[in-house]
Homo-oligomer: A and B are copies of this chain.
Amino acid sequence: MEEKLMQLRELLGEVADLRAASSVLGWDQQVNMPEGGAEDRGEQIATVENILHKKATSDEIGKLLDDLEKYKDQLDPDSDDARLIKVARREYDKQTRVPPAYVSEFARVSTVAQSVWEKAKAAADFEKFRPHLEKLVNLRRQYAEFFEPWDHVYDPLLDDFEPGMKTADVQEIFNKLRLEQVELIRKISEKEQVEKSFLTLNYPEKKQWDFGVEVISKFGYDWNHGRQDKSAHPFTTSFGLNDVRITTRFKEDYLSTAMFGTMHECGHALYEQGVDKKLNRTPLADGASMAVHESQSRMWENLIGRSRPFWKYFYPRLKEIFPSQLGNVDQDAFYKGINAVEPSLIRVEADEATYNLHIMLRLEIEIALMEGSLEVKDAPGVWNEKFKEYLGIVPPDNGQGVLQDIHWSFGGFGYFPTYALGNLVSVQIWEKMEQDLPDMDAQIEKAKFDEILGWLRDHVHAYGAKFEPQELVQKVTGSKITPEPYIRYLQSKFGEIYDI
């Protein structure tokens, strides 16, 4: 068994190396590549991904996994080895169920769809994008068929992002959440709105960069195993556990974009930097799921970065850096401004109280498209109806409506719910952490984050992808993913700000 395990590790190590190589090519493409290199880079990534796919689905790995199956009972089921075999098996089975012809066809269709979507969005012209979205919906339904039987056609898509999670679970969670969030927003809308115009003065980029670096250095971002660059769309990427990079972007006329974006990506990076190094070069060197990953980014961005204790330390610093912009804004006003609730059209700019509603309407549309209960041509109408119902406003055109996100253009159905689940998980873990670290607020007020990061490392990060998201959340908090903590959090935080 030892020898077979070593062989498996060796092969999975090569797969991990190729995945890292592909990620470096992708990072470089978004951060450094001159425009003229785009076409060649496409070929290079395709070649590496193609070899990667062949290696990951090779008979050699399949055979080793079959052989190792027999020894499974000799291992502690929570040991690194047992979990490695389990996760490798899961990924191998998923990938080998999908025929190569489908993979090529899907890659072809989604590449075209993405470039059409870009133009369609700019022109707010849904009809242009419609036939491509129809193809993608069909292809994704076909994809689901490879995994029959299932309880719901959406399950296999969700499983790609949240291993083990079911559509019914998500729906149950979201049904509770929606009612509460819609009600909260209604109450807020009746109150006096908070002032936030000071956030849209001129904030020079270099100073924003320096402040961001100061904050995430305090958080514990490890610059010896990472770096920060600029890119059009912020992201976190890792090339193994020892090189975890983040990117950020700046708006000189809006302070929040880079400030909270940097904290958000840093949260993702802290997760990967914290995975037990023993798991490096294996499929376990990853987050447990997209939702758990998002719980970490949202925790540092919102539960810490948008909290009163955080700004007790950092607001005097920020005022030093931007004296003319913030000279007349006191700490309380600043706190309220960065937490202003305002139903808006664009998901990525949404505040904590409205964000999940943006997700829910997307999920409902995705599920209906997959079930076939909604036709693609009717999606814009449904989008606008639900928008009105949940957020009280209607997009003026489809560019700011149904076409706003890139996800559908690459066929990424199943992705959206992870954002909202991440919010829920962040508070669920936070509540548990508060019990273990009762003076957490006092620590944050001093910009001391080592105990918090240490707790997260021990209880969440170190495990990497050993556990499925529901398993992990259960292990950390004592229950599966549940909306109550998040609802409590929203009601308490915004109840105080808006005097509800």
Contact = CB atoms under 8 A, between A and B. Distances in A.
Interface of A: 13-14, 17-18, 20-21, 24-25, 28, 32-37, 39-41, 43-44, 46-48, 51, 222-227, 239-243, 280-281
Nearest to A38: B242
A21 to B, nearest CB: 5
B13 A43 contact: yes
Contacts of A33: 243
B20 A224 contact: no
Nearest to A280: B40
A359 to B, nearest CB: 34
Q: Quick one: copies of this chain in the complex?
A: 2
Contact of A243 (B37, B223, B243): B37
A37 B238 CA distance: 10
A25 B243 CA distance: 12
A73 to B, nearest CB: 32
Nearest to A47: B17
A41 B245 CA distance: 14
A475 B280 CA distance: 53
Contacts of A14: 47
A40 B272 CA distance: 15
B243 A41 contact: yes
A242 B21 contact: no
24 contacts: A13-B47, A14-B47, A17-B43, A17-B47, A20-B40, A21-B21, A21-B25, A21-B44, A24-B25, A24-B28, A24-B44, A28-B28, A33-B243, A34-B225, A35-B224, A36-B225, A36-B243, A37-B239, A37-B240, A40-B280, A43-B240, A43-B281, A44-B239, A51-B51
Contacts of A21: 21, 25, 44, 47-48
Which are the 10 A-B pairs with shortest beta-carbon distances? Answer: A37-B243, A17-B47, A40-B240, A36-B225, A36-B224, A17-B44, A36-B242, A20-B44, A14-B47, A40-B242
A32 B227 contact: yes
A224 B38 CA distance: 10
Given A41-B243, A51-B51, A222 B36 contact: yes
A39 B13 CA distance: 13
